[in-house]
Structures are given as C-alpha cells and as structure tokens.
Amino acid sequence: MAIAVDWARKELADFLKLTELHPKPGPPDAFIVSSHLSTRGATEDIVASAQVVEQILDRVLPRWRTEVADDHSKAINRWCQHIEAAQRADAVLLRDAEVRAGLGDDAPQLSAGVMHPWAWDGARALWGSGHFREAVTTAARKVNAEAQNKVGRRDVSETKLFQNIFSLSDPKPGEPRLRLMADDGSDTFRSVHRGAMAFAEGCYAGIRNPNSHEDGLPELPEHEALEQLSAFSVLARWVDTASLVTV
C-alpha cells in the first residue's frame, strides 16, 4: 500500500514544530536574559509523535538511523537526528516525483514497505543498519518458517519443503499440499505448480544458500538486495494465498 503523502507530511511537520527550540519562558512580569533553550512541545508529546515519525522515516528513508549523523554530545537538541531525517523525508515526499522526472528516472519504484510482511518484517531491522545480505537471509528463514506453519510440518525445510507442498501428486497423510488454483487437469495447473517449485528452489539454492554459507562475501548493494528480497516476497505471497489441501 502506497504511503499517504499528505498525512505523512503533516505528521513530520507536527514533529518538527514540537521539537523547535526557543528561549525558556521566565516568571510572569520578569525580564530574564538566558541562553537556555527548550523544545516547544512537552517531552511526552514529542515522544508520542516520534513513535509515528520513526515509522514514516523507516518507510521513506530506510537507512536514516545510520546515514543521518547522531551526536548527542555536541547537539543542543536530543532530537537532532530525528529532525534532520524528518526534514529530508519531507523533501522526498514533496519532490520525489519531480526529481526523478528531472533526472530522467521516472520509472516505477520498488518499495520494501509494500512487500509481503513475511519478507519485509523479517528483514526490516537488519536493513536499517545496512546489513543487506543478512536481511535477505533472515527473510528467507521467515518465509520457510511460515510455510512450515501453514502445512504443519517440521521434518522438511526450504527446497525439499516447497517441492513437497507444491507437488502435483495428491496429498498424503502428514503431507498436505498447497494449491495456487483448483486442479482442473489443465496444463496451466501443472505449469503453475511446477513453476512454484522451481522458483522456490531458485530462491533457496541461488540466493539464500550463497548468502548464508559463503564467508567473506562483500556486502550486497542495496538495489541488488532489494531485488533478492522481492523474490522471497513473491514466494511468501504464493504460500500465504494458496489453499491448503489435506487427505
């Protein structure tokens, strides 16, 4: 689901207003010259706003926690990192389409936030810290675990699991099947399920295994990791929407 731009920009603006610094007011009828500054909003209001804003930032700027400087020891405002990230995110929301068109790169964009939750929720934390290869591996484990949960099996996993659950043969005791369409005896039915088996094997043999077992591999570029993550999102959606068939 696409982000609601107007709502997100208002939340960012409200947060920025709450975190503005201004001279701390003194007692009534008193004239005090002071360099002490405080935020316009109360701490509890800022914390509540930040809870929402962080989720917006995670969607718009997934790497804001590592790419935006955060040095509390030198900052006069503890929210300095959030403030800069919110300002950047607002610019992205406001001008992203314009910038992409101006640079000649107005092709559709792929967002991890709209991928299947089994893929993205498993990868989110590692993704935010720039550990893209491990994030994809974690997503692969999550999809495998959810597939096992759906069919109630722990004796097989990954490639063997998907070969079994998408098998064209009828279900057996202890071996249920997942069906992406009704078995009407057609070539389409056979093609769809053979394709699902082959696709799952490719995901685990070609993506998950090298990411997990090869020591010393360089970190994946973010765009390549996003492509790999999208493959597991496709597989997750197939498993999630498939019908469970038992004996």
Over 90: is that where the pLDDT of 182 sits?
A: yes
Look at residue 121 in the predicted model and tell me its pLDDT: 87
Is residue 29 very low, low, confident or very high in pLDDT (cuts 50, 70, 90)?
A: low
- Is the entire prediction scored with pTM above 0.75? no
Q: Give the gyration radius of the chain's Cα atoms.
A: 24
**Mean pLDDT, all residues of the chain:** 87
- Mean pLDDT value across residues 198-208: 95
pLDDT at position 44, please? Answer: 94
The phi, psi pair for 32, rounded to 5°, reads: -125, 130
**Lowest mean pLDDT segment, chosen from 8-17, 36-45, 141-150, 165-174:** 36-45
pLDDT at 188 over 90: yes
Is 106 a residue whose pLDDT tops 60? no
Of residues 4 and 184, more confidently modeled = 184
Residue range 98-118: mean pLDDT, rounded? 73
Q: What is the pLDDT of residues 51-65, one digit of tens each?
A: 999 999 988 888 888
**Domains of the chain, residue spans:** 5-102, 112-245
Residue 11 in this model has a pLDDT that exceeds 70: yes
Closest CA to 113 of 2, 234, 27, 241: 2
